[in-house]
Amino acid sequence: MDRDRVVRLTDEIYDRIEDPAWRIRAISHSHAVASLAALLARVRGLDAELAALCGQLHDLAAYERLSYDNHAALGAERAVQFLRELGEQDESVLCLVHSAILRHDDLGKTDGPMDEVLKDADLLDNAQLRAPEKLRPEEIKRLCRVFEELGIRQNPYGAGQATVPNSI
Ligand SMILES: [Fe+2]
Ligand SMILES: [Fe+2]
């Protein structure tokens, strides 16, 4: 699947969102998560282009409906439909995209490698908008793990430590 085409078409959808807060969030978050997912996929030896597709499409259903209600399940279906309409016929690709988007909010669980890439990428971007004290324990644990994996020693979410605190 041509990533540039997916980005162009999703950006066209996001550009039509009337509410400026939703519109800006849709574009910036989708691009950020796509880039972060590609980076994490490379680090983990996975398909970076596929990870970027998952990132670009993961909240499409939320942005089309302007609601996060059930957006992971709806988004998984929507992303598959979107990719099929663009001609994607590889069922293994569609299956990986569906699974990653379906599970992207299940931060307390460990799922498949591509599912985990999308969860981590989404969290990395979301966490930037929230005060560290507003993060849930499973989010801090996940962030600590990713920072450690990337060799980032100063973790802004874990009281200056890259390892998971004992209390979590
Ligand atoms: Fe989401
Ligand atoms: Fe998201």
The predicted structure's pLDDT at residue 158:
58
**DSSP code string of the chain:** --HHHHHHHHHHHHHT-SSHHHHHHHHHHHHHHHHHHHHHHHHTTS-HHHHHHHHHHTTHHHHHHT--TTHHHHHHHHHHHHHHHTT---HHHHHHHHHHHHTTT-TTS---HHHHHHHHHHHHHHHTTS-GGGS-HHHHHHHHHHHHHTT--S-TTTTT-SSPPTT-
The predicted structure's pLDDT at residue 134:
84
Residue 29 domain-assigned?
Answer: yes
Range of the domain at 65: 3-129
Instruction: Please give the average pLDDT of every successive group of 10 residues along the chain, which has 168 residues.
Output: 89 95 96 97 97 97 95 97 94 97 95 98 91 85 91 66 45
The predicted structure's pLDDT at residue 52:
96
The domain total for the chain is 1
Distance 58 CA to ligand 2 centre (A): 6
The predicted structure's pLDDT at residue 157:
65
Residue 91 domain-assigned?
Answer: yes
Distance 57 CA to ligand 2 centre (A): 9
The predicted structure's pLDDT at residue 131:
79
Residue 65 domain-assigned?
Answer: yes
Distance 167 CA to ligand 2 centre (A): 27
Ligand nearest to the CA of 75: 1
Distance 127 CA to ligand 1 centre (A): 13
CATH code, 72: 1.10.3210.10
Amino acid, res. 8 = R
Distance 72 CA to ligand 1 centre (A): 6
Residue 144 domain-assigned?
Answer: no
Ligand nearest to the CA of 120: 2
The predicted structure's pLDDT at residue 162:
45
Distance 102 CA to ligand 1 centre (A): 9
